[in-house]
């Protein structure tokens, strides 16, 4: 009888731990997700210098680093620096989800959008600004969808900043990614080849 009760207690403990890990990873109310996003947003004006870890890839003008802060639930995160005369910005990219099923990818994409929309940035003066944007609805006939969110602040440092939530179809599977980026207009980023400006 002792063996059965011990086995039953051990099984209950394993199931409880597994459920708690899944709750931490996928719970929309996970405070760790919002805190990590706030840290990423807060370090954006510094080109993510405070969150940059080890160099993992150096390829031409693109250098990729592991971040010291990862989004809970992400499969992988990288900070990419561009070392060119025209672009010295950095991006923070999180690879969140991969599946062969459209419905599962669409559900995760919508869940992550709701979670991102609830994220905030608290400034040094105590003011709070939230991410806001419109959901680009997924559809099976689309190869990709991208929802853009912005920090609703007058701070010029965030003028070109965007959070892109994307769902992409790649040959035999779907992926959902979150990108914290600066997006300049093409004409501002690429000089006119004819005039050189």
In tens digits, the chain (197 residues) has pLDDT values of 555 555 444 455 454 444 444 434 444 456 799 999 999 999 999 999 999 999 999 998 889 999 999 999 999 999 999 877 666 788 999 999 999 999 999 999 999 999 999 899 998 888 999 999 999 999 988 889 999 999 988 888 899 999 999 999 998 999 999 999 986 655 555 555 555 55
Name the residue among 166, 125, 188, 156 with its Cα closest to residue 44: 156
Name the residue among 132, 126, 133, 136 with its Cα closest to residue 168: 136
90 forms bridges with which residues in the sheet?
81
Full-prediction pTM beyond 0.85? Answer: no
Instruction: Indicate the Cα dihedral angle 23, 25, 28, 33, nearest 10°.
Output: 130
For 162, left (φ over 0), alpha (ψ -120 to 50), or beta? beta
Rounded Cα gap, residues 110 and 197, in angstroms: 41
Name the residue among 35, 48, 27 with its Cα closest to residue 179: 48
């Amino acid at each position: 009888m002792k063996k059965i009760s011990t086995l039953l207690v051990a099984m209950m403990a394993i199931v409880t731990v597994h459920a708690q890990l899944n709750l931490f990873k996928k719970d929309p109310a996970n405070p760790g997700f919002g805190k990590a996003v706030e840290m990423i947003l807060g370090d954006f004006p510094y080109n993510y210098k405070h969150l940059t870890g080890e160099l993992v890839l150096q390829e031409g003008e693109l250098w990729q680093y592991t971040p010291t802060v990862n989004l809970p639930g992400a499969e992988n995160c990288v900070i990419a620096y561009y070392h060119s005369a025209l672009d010295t910005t950095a991006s923070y990219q999180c690879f969140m989800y991969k599946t062969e099923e459209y419905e599962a990818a669409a559900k995760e994409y919508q869940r992550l959008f709701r979670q991102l929309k609830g994220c905030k940035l608290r400034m040094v003066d105590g003011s709070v600004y939230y991410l806001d944007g419109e959901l680009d609805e997924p559809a099976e006939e689309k190869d990709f969808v991208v929802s853009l969110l912005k920090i609703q602040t007058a701070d010029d440092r965030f003028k070109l900043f965007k959070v892109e939530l994307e769902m992409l179809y790649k040959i035999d599977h779907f992926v959902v990614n979150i990108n914290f980026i600066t997006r300049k207009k093409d004409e501002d980023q690429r000089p006119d080849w004819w005039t050189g400006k």
